[in-house]
Structures are given as C-alpha cells and as structure tokens.
A and B are shown apart, each in its own frame.
Chain A
C-alpha cells in the first residue's frame, strides 16, 4: 500500500538576512493511510514548518515529498494549489475563516473550488454542519461564533472535499479546555472513519489522541513511536495500565 505522505531527507532553511536559519533538517517521515500522527516538539522545533511543507504552503530547500506515491515537491505553486483543493485539508490555530463570508459560505467554498455544483456544495455543507452540530449557525458571520465553534467550522471546511490528508496546525492551541475536548472528539471521529491526519501540537494530552507521536527537536525527528491503543475501555484495563 502506498503511503499517503512520504518525505525523504526534507530540509527547509530560512534566510534571515545573510544568516541561514535551518527549520527542518533532514526529516524522513512516512504516513500510512488512516494513520493519525501527532507532531510534537517545543516551540521553534520546526513542527509548523514541517506541516506547511507537507501541504505545499511553503517550499522545501531540499529533499523529496511524495503524496500518494507521486512526487510533489517539484510542483509549482499553482500546481500545489490545485492539488490542495481535493487532496489536502488544512486546520489552523486561528481558524482562519474568511471574515466577510458566512459560516455556510466558508464551508461551501472548497467544494465549489473543487468543481462541485452549487447544489452539491450546499448539500455537502448541510450534512457537514449537521454532523458538527452547527446547522443553525450557517448564516452567521464567523465573528459571531465562539472559538470552539469557529474551529469546528474550519474543520468542516477542511473536510468538505474528503481530502486524502488532513493537516492540522495546533488546532486546539487557541481554545479553552471544553472546546478543545469538542474539537478533539471530532478529530477522533473523522479518524475512525478512515481519515489520515497529521496534527501539530505541543500539548501531550492532545497528542495522546493520535496513533503515533513524532517528536521534533531543532528540526530533526528525535522520536517516533506508536501509542498502544486500548481496544476496550473497561475499568479493569485502566487499572492494568497503571
């Protein structure tokens, strides 16, 4: 089975004046379909840069990126954009809903962009908003929503085209604990439905939701481990784990 995403010796060096600042230093990462990978690390470790590179928001300095078995690091900015429409969904820390558009329009936008008819886009938005419990907020402006609601809308927007890969950059970084729980529950749900997710976080509790945690330090992978999943949630096993 081909990996959803694979990087080979991925390097990103920012140029700060004459001084090169390496952000990602030779990352080899492979994510299989259906995997939920959490990328952890202290701030400045290059984790955000890594997901930006994976989504084509930023260009790599050297190395390779393969998406669904196709090499994509050589793509132009426009080709990346076209690729993102169908294959990659993004969730950001600050939600980044288009401020002037209603919640409904925000969710319909990617579907329309991917070529869906207005009717199909509307149906998809309705089902997504219903699933996220936001049906009654469809006509509201993003600013009228709470942070948690906004992030749920952002998630709906990211999932509108059933992308092969969902990239989440600190999706709970700006939320209180209750909203964090809501958003994480949603991520868990879509993961169970087979969605491949790469999520950046610096919060260990959030990372614990993933199948696998990749730790970055100074732009290099220092640890890559699977979390043993509890298959059943009985009280006895909880005691066992202790």
Chain B
C-alpha cells in the first residue's frame, strides 16, 4: 500500500513529463485495437445479415427453379422436412423514376406459409381485399426508394403496363441483396400474377426445401437434379445466399485484419521501444528510487504499471471506438462479445509482454545512482569508418557513429519504422489496384461499359442502333444463362459473348483465350467450385441441353465471386443464343458513357434498355477510407518510435555534445550530428519497409483476389512516383520531428562537469 502511494506519485510525475509521447502511445494502440475489432466483427458471421434473416423467416436451404410445376414429391426426399411452394414466378421490369429494373414477380398466398415466409418490416402482408397490392423485398425497395403506399409500375414480357401499390416491405433470406443479386423480388397474390402474366410458358416455378440438417444440402440438391432432370432451370443453396450477403464485409474484414495484426506487432514493438528507451533515460532516477528503498520487484512493477497502463488505456479506447463504429454502421447487436473479449484480452497481453521486458530490466538497475549508464563507446562502427574514409563532414560521421552505439534500440527503431512503412506501401498498393480497376476496366473484364437490351425494339434493330453510334467501337452480342453441373448441386453462370473466333477481350491471365467453339475461359471461383484446371473438359447442362467445353484459360472475373464460365456465343446451342439477350458495347477511347447512353435512348425512342457497368472500384470505395485511416494509425506508431529514438539519442549524447562544442563544433554541426543519428535509422527503416512492402504487395493482393474468386492477376504495386513521395514524406516528417529536440539540445548550455 505504502509503495503504491509512493509509486503512483512517481508515475504521475513521469507521465506529466512526457504527455505527448503518452498520448501518442494511447492513440496508436487504440487505433490498432479498433481496427482489429472492426475486422473481427466484419469477419464474424454475426454481422452477416443472412443468419438472422434465415432464422426469422424459417428459411429454406435449397431453392430450385423449374419451367413447370414439379410433379414429383420433393417432400419425400430424405432429409427434407418441409417444402415452400411451388410458387409461380414471372420476370417483369419495374419502371421507377425513369429507370427500369429487372424483377421477379412471385405469387404468394394471403396467408404466409410456414417455411420461407417473408417477414414484413413495414406495412402489411398481401390482402385479398386489395388485389393490386404488392410486397417488395427490402433491399429492392431501398434501391428503388419505394415506401409503403407508393405506386409500383411493372412492364410484363408482353409489354403491358400494370400499376400496383406497395402494401408492405419485407425481409427475405431467399436471395442476396439487390442490386448485387438480380432480379429484385416482389410478391403479389396468385390472381394478380395470372392477370399480369397469363402465359404460363413465360413464367417459372420456385420451390424451397427446408432440411433437417443444413450439411445435407449437397446431397439433397444432387438428388433434386437427378429427379427433375430437364425441368430444372437452376438450383442454389443457402451457402450462395450467405456468401452474397457477406461479400464486401469479408474483403474489408480481411484487409483490416491484415493491417490490424501487423499493426499490433508494430505497436507492441513501438511500446517496447518506448518503454525501453524511457527506462534507459531514467536509469539514474530508478537507481535513486532503489536507494530510497524500492525493491527490484517494486521498480519493475512500477514501470510495468506505468507503461502498461498507457497501452491498456489505448486498448480500452480502441475497444470503445471499434465497438462504437460497428454499432453505428451495423447496429447494436453486430459486435459479438467473444471475439471482442479475445481481442481486448490478447492485445492487453501483448501490451504487457511488450513492456514487461524493459520493466524487468529497469528493475535490475543497480541501486547506485552515480554509476554512469552511458552507451558502450569507443568503437567507430564500420559505417562510420566508411563515412570517414569518403571524407564526409564531421557531423555526418559523428551522427553515423551515434546511430549504432546502442544496437538493440537502433534495431528496434529501424524495424519499428520499417513495419509501418511496409504496411503503408501495401495500403498504397491496394489503392493503386483500385485506381487500376477504375482507369482500366478492361483489365478486370469490363471492356464493355454499356449493356443494351432490346426491350421494345427488335434485336437486329437494337444492334443497328448501337453500331451506328459514333461513340461505340465494338458491339458484342451476348447472353447469360444458368447452367447445371452434374455432381455440383448448384447452378453456375455461363456468359456467352462475342464470337469464338473474334472473342470478347477477357483479361486472360493464365492459359490462353478461347479461339473456337467448344473452348471457354473461367474465373478462379469457377475453377475452385468445379475442382477443375485449365485444360480440363467440363460438361454442363443449359436448360436440358448439354454444353461441353474445354477450359483453355483463366480470366480475371469480378462478377459472381468468380464463378462464371465465359464462352463465345457460338458455343451455345441456337435456342439459347438466338436472339442475344444483350449487346455489350465497347466505347471508343474518350467517349462519354452517359452521353452514349443518352444518344442510344434517344435514337431508339426510349425503346432500348441501356445499363452502365458498375466498376468494382466504385463498390469498394470504402476501402480507400480505411486505407487513409490505417495509414494515419501506422504513422502514429512510426512517430512514437521516432520520439523514443530521438529522446534516447539526446540522452546518450547530451554530455558528448558539450565536449563536441568545446572542441569547436558549431551549434549547427551539433544539430546535424543529432539529426544524422536519428535520420540514418529512419532512412534505413523506411527504405527497408518500402522495399519489403513492394516485394509482397502484388502477391498479397493476388492472394486475396484468389481466395475471393476474382483470381490472381489484379494486384498492382504503387507507382514509383507514389512510393517516392511516400518515402520522402516519411523521411522528411521524421527529420522534422528529430530536428526540434536537436535544435534545443544544440543551443542548450550543457556543463561538461555535470557527470
């Protein structure tokens, strides 16, 4: 108790004396912890809305689309507990605010079913007394800015317009969110659907299967494929829905986790360095404390408490900040307590471990305060000798010598700067990759920037209009179909575009482009899904027709988690390929997308549907915000290291400075000596960090691309100019920071006799 009182006095006084450094430590640790908590929350499935949606709607595990009402008993399949539907579903277009969006109109009874029932979030469910009512799936409604009571104008395949009214907005776990998952979903009463789309041949039947064991999904859906054979259009399972809902969160989470984990190492190093440096500068005070009666353990505890408390304060602040950000972004239930506690506990342990060693060493200080505790001296380092050889100015030589007199702190400083710099380089690489997406969409498979659907005009006419536009360089007819793979219990997307001989310029990064019918390129996601390699032959069925292709290359595929097979239109059978579903328009360089779109619409008398392609970089724009924030935190860590190094250098050489001055060095030269001592370590650390970052950045981004299905080949290193600016900024800032104490020291009157 008594030592606690005495110790707290000492801690308070010491913290008061180095407020800036203390605040920096707290902020750096807080930033890292916040990043880690955000990462864990984004990666934790709890944030994936799928789980709660699935539970609330008593969702179905398998969804199958057939072109006719299934006539077999799906209920009898082993493992299926209940069946939702079959419901009739018709493709329509929703016209809203001048935009046209694809939608699936689903017939549902007025009494919601027991399985896979949409949960009404606003308004009410369908009511037979209001047959013109429609309930819209929530993400679709949000995208269209629909509210309860709003008119809902739809255009049927026949071209007929119908106006319904939104009676309710409902959540569903049946498909991913609009617009990532199209078409949008809306529910009407069966009678209304019959009126809008009387032709049964233009609609399909949707059935949901709820299983006793979600792990049996694969088996059950394979069985369904076998049972329904030709009738089956496509199948997907809860896994795809879940993946669709979490896609962006995962990418952000991975990025944050990488930065957070490496940042934690850097922060622990910075903390160890700061505590160690502080202990070194205080050896005399610590010896005095021991002469007053502090025991070795008490001094160690004192240091552990002081430096550990700063770290722990940072951990707490970071936890609160991370939790706050997540609650603001994702709602109060998003943060799972277990990983949060694990992160807080883990980082707290890391903090204590980092300050433990210097604290223990501080405790071992001999209690005789008059023993000088200067650095090892006498030898000129090899570098300094080299500097002498090439006749550098004396300040540089002395500074070079000073930089390495204490090896461990010198290493810690350089390393402590290298790690943040490496991460900053990687961050800049991610930035460059996004820029590359935006500047060269053709390199991520977006050679065409407009997609035209025939709509009201004849397909041939649509093609003519598109080809005659002055801004259009090339028109590729195309169709997207769903294909079933035997053995795989789900549908994959087949994109047929252009001709096999004159293919659409997919960015093929492995193998080669397809050159004739029967050849295909695939995204990484598809290769992983089917377990095939380049050169393998795959057999799929498209609406009952077999499609046998040989995969000859891998392309960068940003859509559908990379689970897309791309072929020439002539590889598809005529029934699927004619007429083409859309025309992909590659524009001439410099042509404005919006302008061309406007012209096409005007030319066709609003008969065409023209869609602009969404660049993946736009969807990932939030990554840039995260990169800026992380660079800020990393810079704080670097700064903390720097302050330590500079304080230590000053302490070690304060007495030498007096001697140097006595020998005739000008204050400016003394200052240069000090700045050189710190600056050399900075240059080494920053240089090494940037080099390490450059060497790993492309492969890291490619690795991420590979796991997310887009595939390797997207990673870009930051440009030489960006990197040079980053390095110069880092070194410049570091030198400026080192300059202030150096100036003060150079001007101070240090008595030579004070030791």
Contact = CB atoms under 8 A, between A and B. Distances in A.
A binds B: yes
Interface stretch (A28-36, A52-60, A216-224): A52-60
B295 A78 contact: yes
Interface stretch (B283-291, B458-466, B598-606): B283-291
Interface residues of B, number: 32
Given A57-B368, A114-B2, A108 B9 contact: yes
B295 A81 contact: yes
Nearest to A111: B6
Contact of A82 (B1, B293, B366, B369): B293
Contacts of A93: 370
B297 A84 contact: no
28 contacts: A48-B370, A57-B291, A58-B366, A78-B297, A81-B298, A83-B293, A84-B292, A84-B293, A85-B292, A92-B288, A93-B370, A94-B754, A94-B755, A96-B285, A96-B287, A98-B10, A98-B289, A99-B17, A100-B17, A100-B285, A101-B9, A102-B13, A105-B9, A105-B13, A112-B2, A115-B1, A115-B2, A118-B5
B2 to A, nearest CB: 4
B10 A109 contact: yes
B292 A92 contact: no
Given A101-B9, A114-B2, 11 more contacts: A55-B291, A56-B367, A81-B296, A81-B298, A81-B367, A84-B292, A92-B369, A94-B369, A96-B369, A102-B13, A115-B1
B152 interface: no
A237 B293 CA distance: 45
A100 B5 contact: no
Interface in A10-26: none
B695 interface: no
Interface in A195-221: none
Contacts of A58: 366, 368
B293 A100 contact: no
A171 to B, nearest CB: 12
Nearest to A49: B368
B143 interface: no
Contacts of B65: none
B367 A57 contact: yes
Contacts of A112: 2, 5-6, 9
Interface string A183-194: 000000000000
Given A92-B370, A96-B369, A110 B293 contact: yes
B294 A113 contact: yes
A77 interface: yes
B685 to A, nearest CB: 29
B293 A113 contact: yes
Given A99-B285, A114-B2, A109 B292 contact: yes
Question: Which of B291, B367, B370 is the most central at the interface, judged by chain A CB atoms within 10 Å of its CB?
Answer: B291
Nearest to B4: A112
A78 B293 contact: no
Question: Which of B288, B295, B296, B368 is the most central at the interface, judged by chain A CB atoms within 10 Å of its CB?
Answer: B288
Question: Which of A93, A94, A112 is the most central at the interface, judged by chain B CB atoms within 10 Å of its CB?
Answer: A112
A52 B368 contact: yes
Interface string B41-83: 0000000000000000000000000000000000000000000
Interface string A41-56: 0000000100010011
Interface string B160-189: 000000000000000000000000000000
A215 to B, nearest CB: 22
A90 B288 CA distance: 9
Given A92-B369, A113-B2, A114-B2, A85 B293 contact: yes
B3 interface: yes
Contacts of B3: 113
B280 to A, nearest CB: 14
Given A57-B367, A114-B2, A101 B10 contact: yes
Contacts of A97: 288
Interface in A150-186: 157, 169
A77 B13 contact: no
Given A96-B284, A98-B13, A81 B293 contact: yes
Contacts of B5: 112, 118
Contacts of B379: none
Contacts of A110: 6, 292-293
Nearest to B284: A96
A55 B293 CA distance: 10
Contact of B295 (A82, A98, A105, A114): A82
A211 B734 CA distance: 60
Interface string B388-431: 00000000000000000000000000000000000000000000
Contacts of A116: 2
A77 B291 CA distance: 11
A77 B219 CA distance: 72
Nearest to A52: B368
Contacts of B370: 48, 92-94, 96, 169
A176 to B, nearest CB: 12
A169 B755 CA distance: 15
A90 B290 CA distance: 11
A143 to B, nearest CB: 11
A100 B368 contact: no
B13 A114 contact: no
B16 interface: yes
B14 interface: yes
A114 B1 CA distance: 10
A38 B85 CA distance: 105
A85 B291 CA distance: 9
Given A57-B368, A98-B289, A77 B6 contact: no
Nearest to B1: A115
Given A99-B285, A100-B17, A108-B9, A114 B369 contact: no
Interface in B357-397: 366-370
Interface string B529-543: 000000000000000
Question: Which of B289, B290, B368, B755 is the most central at the interface, judged by chain A CB atoms within 10 Å of its CB?
Answer: B368
B680 to A, nearest CB: 29
Given A52-B368, A78-B297, A100 B13 contact: yes
Contacts of B293: 81-86, 110, 113-114
Contacts of A101: 9-10, 13
A81 B367 CA distance: 9
Interface string A114-129: 1110100000000000
